[in-house]
A and B are shown apart, each in its own frame.
Chain A
């Protein structure tokens, strides 16, 4: 498939998209928590793969490389959202009060069963407050069901570091949820 992609074979590209579109979309959806933004990120991932396939040396798996692009792009979306929110706050402070508010509503993941929807929404709200690395590790492991080994390859770190990130993520989530519950 990689050789096909390098040769600009459309069938190979179509096969790549069909194989990975759900994984990439699901990963970015877990991070950005918005379907429209997640689709945009997923499209960017495939565009980048198409453009940079010649620079892909095959040192890691293609899927690992794609997960890495997806997480990086998703974090970019979160950062730009944060800066928009910040500038919106400043505008509201000095403006006439009609400026848009960049608040993300409660997120409902489509893969969660109905009886767990409410709890999952609370958990996603807490995940959004995690530091970036913990958020990535937790999302890849819990939502995308990657092993610690695969998470460590995606994040270009050791398995021990991923274990530590997961441990801290769980502790932080508990703290955030305790605070929310009062």
Chain B
């Protein structure tokens, strides 16, 4: 009984002895060529500008420019409002307008 079972298993294990090599399907080269034409022609269309590193770089530059504009805008706004306040104080107390100029300097 045990021997029979072992024999059956041995038969299964040796079933690939002297097996013939499977051959690739017909028209393999034709299909491969079609695939390559599709893949290799499509690839160069990917612009370098679409690479994540370039996208990130452009994004950073845009953010930096925005930040610079906002920062500069807010600081010039402050100085304009400061000048206006000084001028109104000067005119209220009838101080020479040159003083404002001096303060600003």
Contact A112 B19, CB 8 Å, known A14-B29, A21-B24 = yes
Alpha-carbon distance between A178 and B23 when the two chains are bound, in angstroms? 32
| Shortest beta-carbon distance from A139 to chain B in Å | 9
Number of interface residues of A (CB under 8 A): 38
Is the CB–CB distance between A22 and B23 below 8 Å?
yes
B45 CB–A CB distance under 8 Å: no
A161 CB–B CB distance under 8 Å: no
B20 CB–A CB distance under 8 Å: yes
Number of interface residues of B (CB under 8 A): 24
Task: Determine which of B5, B13, B22, B29 lies in contact with A110 in the assembled complex, contact meaning CB atoms within 8 Å.
Answer: B22
- Chain B residues lying within 8 Å of A46, measured Cβ to Cβ, are 32, 36
A17 CB–B CB distance under 8 Å: yes
User: Chain A 139-167, CB within 8 Å of chain B: the 1/0 string?
Assistant: 00011110000000000000000000000
B53 CB–A CB distance under 8 Å: no
User: Contacts A21-B29, A177-B13 given; 18 further ones with Cβ under 8 A?
Assistant: A22-B23, A25-B23, A25-B25, A26-B23, A42-B24, A43-B32, A109-B16, A109-B19, A109-B22, A111-B21, A112-B20, A116-B15, A119-B12, A123-B13, A123-B15, A143-B16, A143-B19, A178-B9
The interface of chain B, by Cβ under 8 A from chain A, is: 5, 8-9, 11-13, 15-17, 19-25, 28-29, 31-32, 35-36, 39-40
21 pairs, A vs B, C-beta closer than 8 Å:
A17-B28, A18-B29, A22-B22, A24-B24, A26-B23, A35-B25, A42-B28, A43-B32, A43-B35, A46-B36, A111-B19, A120-B16, A120-B19, A123-B12, A123-B15, A126-B12, A143-B19, A170-B13, A177-B9, A177-B13, A181-B8
